[in-house]
Amino acid sequence: ADVSSLELGGVALDNNFLSDDVPAAQPFVASRTHRRESPAAPPRGAPDGPENGGGVLAPPKGPEELDASKKEELYGEMGKPVVLGNLTADVKKLVDEGWAKNAFNQYVSDLISVHRKLPDPRDHWCKEPGRYRENLPQTAVIICFHNEAWSVLLRTVHSVLDRSPPSLIKEIILVDDFSDMPHLKLQLEEYFANYPKVRIIRAAKREGLIRARLMGARYATAPVLTYLDSHCECAEGWLEPLLDRIARNKTTVVCPVIDVIDDTTLEFHWRDSDGVSVGGFDWNLQFNWHAVPERERKRHQNSAEPVWSPTMAGGLFSIDKSFFELLGTYDSGFDIWGGENLELSFKTWMCGGTLEIVPCSHVGHIFRKRSPYKWRSGVNVLKRNSIRLAEVWMDDYAKYYYQRIGKDLGDYGDVTMRRDLRNRLGCKSFKWYLDNIYPELFVPGEAVASGEVRNGDSGMCLDSEASEEEYHKPLGVWQCHMEGGNQYWMLSKTGEVRRDEACLDYSGQDVILYPCHGSKGNQYWQYHPDTMLLQHGSSKKCLAITESKQRLVMEECNSSSLHQRWKFENYDSS
């Protein structure tokens, strides 16, 4: 059915966002001779039932290609890693192709049963009698995909069917976001023909993840929506603790603990309740994980109890359908991927709901290092989505994001209807959200100085990605570009020069980036706006650029040296 012309979330879809690089629709034929064979069809007469065994893919080459010790077992059972031994050139080619298409090891996934068993990652607390309500609401499980690998998609669906009480699954809605991989065409309908709960919906053009999710919601008849990415594995007992929270309060939005499925070996790594993280974000509007803060730990007796989380990762969550609708679902002006997780997080909290991570619920997800599919050319989709988010939900705090992206907002479309929605719902302010829900976040407004940090007359600026990979490495310099990003720094009231969680740190060698610790010491800097010296607290030395202007050094302070002069883009002298 062509549902792409529907109005979603009250906002008509525009058709002009498609650009030429989006793959053209393939003729509707399933290629039977395609090398990646599909797993055996499920035994007839066992619809939706957890069948035993079966479903192991015939590997493209015999298992003699693999590590001999693996021959006897079923690959990857109980979440164990599959390690490929020495490969022939032919198999290596297949492995490489799998990586190229999916950005994970598809070859290894194809060796593993689509019904593989996983270890039970739950805390005892989760299994105590009477822990969950008797009458839990049913859910629709919505799985959107764009060109997902066959075995991975099937394993996602089977993990839902095999490890959820059948009475709680009303339907599983697979939303194909205009894939062109042949196995995702006819074969998918055929495969699920005997699974009455599984419905397949196809977008008539590439909608992107966010509008695909909205399509799925349109078709759902259950009172609760549960979203999963298309490369997940639900662990034993994952669903009941999620639905229980919603049964108790419809405005609670819940996320499972997201366990890591290794992209190379497909090993399932689960973390116990003590290792649970909550979601946050930084002023690039990027999602990040944090340890459960002290104030939140104190609210609980047991680490398996649901914890409040400022944000969600985005892909895996359950929400009451009517609450989702009340919140205006997603901004359907969001394209492809990104930003929607923060949108839903902010408005859940700001408009009267609660966002939780539920440690009793575990779902594995294959984390990838790159995105294997095509994005729109010529538009920075993520930036555009984030600007829409900031414009509607972040009030005056939007400016801190804009400082990061160089202040050029470009065309982000019309957000009037989203603002109307917020007003209609009478949601709280972003300041309220920061003060009450995410007090750990460093707010740039509390900074004494911010922006680029420009050296004397060299045209060079302090520059680093400031990601975790950059920690412990010397801080770099680069030509000033006035676009924020890697050149955006803040000087905090307590004397840190920082970006998000990374602080300039000097312990006698190089000036490096190090996680901010808040106890001054090697991270304490004094800026003298009159002389423009940036002086290190404990060593009393000053930051300087080398003669060659390629590196930073610490020198005895000398206010007449241009090499030691640093100008913060914005300095608040008050």
Residues engaged in binding ligand LR7 (CB under 6 A): 144-146, 148, 177, 208-209, 212, 229-230, 258, 313-316, 336-338, 340-341, 365, 371, 373
Quick one: which segment of 149-157, 224-232, 236-244, 386-394 binds Mn ion (CB under 5 A)?
A: 224-232
Tokens of 179: 């894939």
Q: How far is the CB of 559 from ligand LR7 (least distance, A)?
A: 47
Distance between terminal CA atoms of the chain?
A: 62
Other beta carbons within 10 angstroms of residue 166's beta carbon come to: 10
111: Cβ contacts below 8 Å, ≥ 6 apart:
56, 57, 59, 63, 66, 75, 76, 82
Q: Which amino acid is at 168?
A: L
Q: Which amino acid is at 46?
A: A
In 345-435, at which residue ranges do the beta strands (DSSP E only) sit? 354-366
Residues 537, 131: Cα–Cα separation, whole Å? 54
CB-based contact 54:38 (threshold 8 Å):
no
Q: Which amino acid is at 50?
A: P
401, interface contact from Mn ion, ligand LR7, none, CB < 5-8 Å by kind? none
438, interface contact from Mn ion, ligand LR7, none, CB < 5-8 Å by kind? none
383, interface contact from ligand LR7, Mn ion, none, CB < 5-8 Å by kind? none
Give 353 or 476: the residue with its C-beta nearer to ligand LR7: 353
Q: How are beta strands 476-479 and 489-492 bridged, if at all?
A: unpaired
Phi first, then psi: give them for residue 107, nearest 5 degrees. Answer: -60, -45
344, interface contact from Mn ion, ligand LR7, none, CB < 5-8 Å by kind? none
Q: How far is the CB of 229 from Mn ion (least distance, A)?
A: 4
CB-based contact 4:363 (threshold 8 Å):
no
341, interface contact from Mn ion, ligand LR7, none, CB < 5-8 Å by kind? ligand LR7
177, interface contact from ligand LR7, Mn ion, none, CB < 5-8 Å by kind? ligand LR7
148, interface contact from Mn ion, ligand LR7, none, CB < 5-8 Å by kind? ligand LR7
316, interface contact from Mn ion, ligand LR7, none, CB < 5-8 Å by kind? ligand LR7
CB-based contact 157:197 (threshold 8 Å):
no
Q: How far is the CB of 261 from Mn ion (least distance, A)?
A: 10
Q: How far is the CB of 395 from Mn ion (least distance, A)?
A: 31
Q: How far is the CB of 16 from ligand LR7 (least distance, A)?
A: 17
Q: How far is the CB of 365 from ligand LR7 (least distance, A)?
A: 4
CB-based contact 471:500 (threshold 8 Å):
no
Tokens of 398: 């939007």
487, interface contact from ligand LR7, Mn ion, none, CB < 5-8 Å by kind? none
Q: How far is the CB of 520 from Mn ion (least distance, A)?
A: 40
CB-based contact 61:88 (threshold 8 Å):
yes
Give 103 or 409: the residue with its C-beta nearer to ligand LR7: 103
Give 229 or 501: the residue with its C-beta nearer to Mn ion: 229
Query: How many residues in the shown chain lie near Mn ion by CB under 5 A?
Result: 1
Give 288 or 570: the residue with its C-beta nearer to Mn ion: 288
Residues 272, 269: Cα–Cα separation, whole Å? 10
Quick one: which segment of 64-72, 212-220, 229-237, 436-444 binds Mn ion (CB under 5 A)?
A: 229-237
Tokens of 103: 């950005």
230, interface contact from Mn ion, ligand LR7, none, CB < 5-8 Å by kind? ligand LR7
Q: Answer yes or no whether residue 229 interacts with Mn ion by CB under 5 A.
A: yes
Residues 468, 465: Cα–Cα separation, whole Å? 9
Give 320 or 340: the residue with its C-beta nearer to ligand LR7: 340
Tokens of 190: 């055929």
Q: How are beta strands 552-555 and 542-545 bridged, if at all?
A: antiparallel
Phi first, then psi: give them for residue 521, nearest 5 degrees. Answer: 50, -125
Give 156 or 487: the residue with its C-beta nearer to ligand LR7: 156
Q: How far is the CB of 297 from ligand LR7 (least distance, A)?
A: 22
Give 137 or 314: the residue with its C-beta nearer to Mn ion: 314
Kindly tell me the sign of the dihedral angle through the C-alpha atoms of 384, 390, 391, 396: negative
Q: Alpha helix locations (H) across 75-223?
A: 89-102, 106-111, 150-162, 186-191, 209-219
Residue 436 burial (C-beta neighbours within 10 Å; 0-12, 13-18, 19+): exposed
Q: Answer yes or no whether residue 505 interacts with Mn ion by CB under 5 A.
A: no
146, interface contact from ligand LR7, Mn ion, none, CB < 5-8 Å by kind? ligand LR7
Q: Alpha helix locations (H) across 103-145?
A: 106-111
Angle, in degrees to the nearest 10, between helices 416-425 and 340-350: 30
Q: Answer yes or no whether residue 569 interacts with Mn ion by CB under 5 A.
A: no
Give 314 or 444: the residue with its C-beta nearer to ligand LR7: 314
Quick one: which segment of 227-235, 244-252, 268-276, 490-498 binds Mn ion (CB under 5 A)?
A: 227-235
Give 76 or 314: the residue with its C-beta nearer to ligand LR7: 314
Q: How far is the CB of 365 from Mn ion (least distance, A)?
A: 6
Q: Which residues bind Mn ion (CB under 5 A)?
A: 229
